[in-house]
Structure 1
Amino acid sequence: MKKIYFLASALLAVTTLKAQTTVDFEDLTLDPESYYNGSDEAGGFTSGGVTFENEYNTAWGSWNGFSYSNITDNTTTGYGNQYSAIPGSGADNSEIYAVYHSGDTMHFPDSHARISSIDITNTTYAYYSMKDGDAFAKEFGSPNDASGADDGTNGEDFFNIVIYNHDATGAKTDSITFYLADFRFSDDNDDYIIDTWTPVDLTAFTDINYLTFSFNSSDVGEFGLNTPTYFALDNIKYENTTGLTKNEIAQFSLYPNPATSTLNISGDAGEYKIFNTNGSIVKSFTHNGLSTIDISSLNSGIYIVKVSTGNSFGTQKLIIR
């Protein structure tokens, strides 16, 4: 069995936005060691101005979408402990956090919202399922499935979520992939399952109306993913941007675009960041009117360049060949 390490390096930079709201779920109430799963058939709940949709099946007593919890039990394995986050508390040792399972959306009060970050971690249920395996899901790092048969992965397992940005028309305009577990490294010591609250940088998203989520795993069976499709979330930091004037939209130019080894930037001065398609920052720098940036270390592909001037924001697509 491979030794599991947890990525401190997965902590991504966070850009602070003006008039920022942090959804920390502490405006909700729960009895000690309890949870809300939509059994009242309300269809969801609201915290910090954001609506979290939920669908509850009364016939089966099951749910999908969002729930919220203050469960601290991070040692009990299995489906019966599906409302627990593996750190044993909310982010920053707070009490209440949310749990996402399978489907439904996260709606913002403004159809042009911007998000700086969301704190994400594994649930206890999913964590131990990947770490040790169970009756349905494999032990990550093993070449065998839950039944003991060779599954063809050679132990190169992974579990990720894809976060999709939807605009006011409902169209998907961007996405970011975040790995809750990854065992595909050439050095087994780099393999990990997330067990801490990890900020995921979403500043590459613009004009956000709502977010949706999907799961991918190397452990797939006849009926879909065997890995439990859950994650926990907290500290959603966002800003409503309706009413931004033209003066609040930063103006800058990139050339050449497509680029190869160097990139010229002209326009508004500020803090610039280049993101890859996974939402990770691959380069950051301060620009003061005209800059030439060395991008020779970046692989060919599509990137997003984002600037913050303190009172304005701007985003452009960059192609590197």
Structure 2
Amino acid sequence: MGAYTESTSDTKTCEVYTSAPYYAVGCYVCNNPYVYYAIEKGNPYSTKFEQGDWFKLVAHGIDEQGTETGTVEYYLADYRSENADDWKLNDTWEWVDLSELGQIASIYFTMESSDTGDYGINTPTYFCLDKLTVSTEPSSVEESVVAQAKVYYDRSNGTVRVESAQLVEAAVYNMSGTLVMKQLVEGSGAIDMSAYPAGVYVVRCGGYSTKIVK
């Protein structure tokens, strides 16, 4: 996508097509580092966010006939509260439930920001996307597993954060397949990785697994 457009209307940031109509389940999203620091500190093209500012990602579902099935919004930055303690600037992977989009043939994403000018959005329109999940049924086993187990690495304190709707065993393996540690988690829990060397690890939680980079 170019740096500028001749309109302030929404422009597709990316679009994903499915091989056949499927039911949308969800995906993980995170701020791009360039965007994160543009919001936190500002740059020559965009302003530092202050109270009242916001930056959001909008997912659009499209069916076989090319008709929009709905939208789902997620705020990558939300400074609208008058209380600064409530401000949010996304810095880690977060699960976004896309089931409201229903049966889709494609999903495309647009981005909106409070910081706009004559040429559209000043905030850089980039984001990170992972594990976009669809299903053959509106409520499937795959959807249940993904929704009930959420894993991400919190670099600020060197822990793997695990959130699960059910009691699960979370296990961490190094890239050689050696078990590093494991623990039971129900609700939310933290696995302390601060004593382990930097590298790539695999976290397995119930039927879900993901890689983290320490």
Question: TM-score, normalization: structure 1?
Answer: 0.39
Q: How much does 1:230 deviate?
A: 0.6
Amino acid in structure 1 at the alignment position of 2:93: W
> Cα deviation per residue 1:19-67 (whole Å; 9 max; x = unaligned)?
xxxxxxxxxxxxxxxxxxxxxxxxxxxxxxxxxxxxxxxxxxxxx39xx
What does residue 109 of structure 1 align with? 19
Q: Which structure would you say has the larger Rg?
A: 1
- Mapped to 1, the partners of 2:99 and 2:69 lie a distance apart of 14
- 1:251-270 matched pairs, under 5 angstroms: none
- 1:297-312 matched pairs, under 5 angstroms: none
- Mapped to 1, the partners of 2:61 and 2:19 lie a distance apart of 15
- 1:147-296 matched pairs, under 5 angstroms: 155-241=51-137
Q: Is 1:123 equivalent to 2:32 in the alignment?
A: yes
Q: How much does 1:102 deviate?
A: 4.9
Seen in structure 2, the aligned counterparts of structure 1 residues 102 and 124 have a Cα distance that, compared at 3 Å, is farther
Q: Is 1:137 equivalent to 2:46 in the alignment?
A: yes
- 1:46-85 matched pairs, under 5 angstroms: 64=1
- Mapped to 1, the partners of 2:101 and 2:12 lie a distance apart of 22
Amino acid in structure 2 at the alignment position of 1:109: S
Q: How much does 1:204 deviate?
A: 1.8
- Mapped to 1, the partners of 2:133 and 2:14 lie a distance apart of 20
Question: TM-score, normalization: structure 2?
Answer: 0.57
Instruction: Report SS of the residue matched to 2:34.
Output: helix
Give aligned-pair identity as a percent. 30
Amino acid in structure 1 at the alignment position of 2:53: D
Instruction: Report SS of the residue matched to 1:109.
Output: strand
Higher strand proportion (structure 1 or 2): 2
Instruction: Report if the CA contact (8 A) 2:30-2:76 is conserved.
Output: yes
Instruction: Report SS of the residue matched to 1:135.
Output: coil
Any gaps of 5 or more consecutive residues in structure 2? 4-10, 140-214
Which of 1 and 2 has higher RCO (CA within 8 Å, sep 6+)?
2
- Mapped to 1, the partners of 2:12 and 2:100 lie a distance apart of 24
Q: How much does 1:109 deviate?
A: 1.1
